[in-house]
């Protein structure tokens, strides 16, 4: 694959600051995890990447865990229905040689789980994100994206 693509984890604040300062990384694709409309704080719109990045995928996803899903009577299989679309987006951008930014509100859970899945699938070292105390990677996001990356590898 030549040089290794970078996989970065960002919070909303970090992404907005880099955009404002016109320092957003070039040759990058962004996966932006946003809270579903019904649970989004009033006035909290997704990060506006216009002019900073041309390859952006927004995906609405509640930041939750398996126990909370089960307590609410939610189906684990139905959680994160966009996982395959996200995986295809990742494959396309990795093949194009772009770095990947995984961004969520605080840059700790959903984005870290996504980054760990990408690192594990492509480089076999996703554990390094789980071992980094700055993050609390969502195991649900990790598993959903990792499985989707495997299922869409040939598409």
Residue pair 100/118 in contact (Cβ under 8 Å)? The answer is yes
User: Can you list the domains of the chain with their CATH numbers?
Assistant: 7-151 (3.90.190.10)
- Contact indicator for 97, 27 with CB cutoff of 8 Å: yes
d(CA 90, CA 109): 18
pLDDT digits (tens, 9 = 90+) for 51-80: 999 999 999 998 877 776 666 667 777 788
pLDDT of residue 1: 42
In DSSP terms, 101 is beta-bridged to 8, 30
pTM of the model: 0.91
Rounded distance, CA 117 to CA 139, Å? 9
CB 88 within 8 A of CB 155: yes
């Amino acid at each position: 694959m030549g040089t290794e693509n970078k996989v970065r984890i960002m919070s909303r604040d970090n992404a907005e600051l880099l955009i404002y300062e016109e320092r957003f990384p070039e040759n990058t694709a962004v996966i932006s995890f946003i809270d579903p409309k019904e649970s989004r704080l009033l006035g909290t719109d997704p990060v506006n990447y216009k002019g900073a990045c041309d390859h952006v995928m927004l995906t609405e996803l509640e930041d939750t865990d398996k126990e909370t899903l089960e307590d609410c009577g939610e189906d684990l299989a139905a959680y994160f229905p966009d996982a395959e679309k996200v995986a295809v987006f990742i494959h396309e951008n990795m093949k194009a040689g772009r770095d990947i930014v995984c961004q969520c509100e605080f840059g700790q859970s959903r984005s870290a789980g996504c980054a760990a899945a990408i690192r594990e699938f492509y480089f076999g070292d996703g554990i390094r994100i789980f071992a980094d105390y700055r993050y609390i990677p969502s195991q649900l996001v990790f598993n959903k994206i990792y499985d989707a990356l495997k299922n869409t590898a040939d598409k």
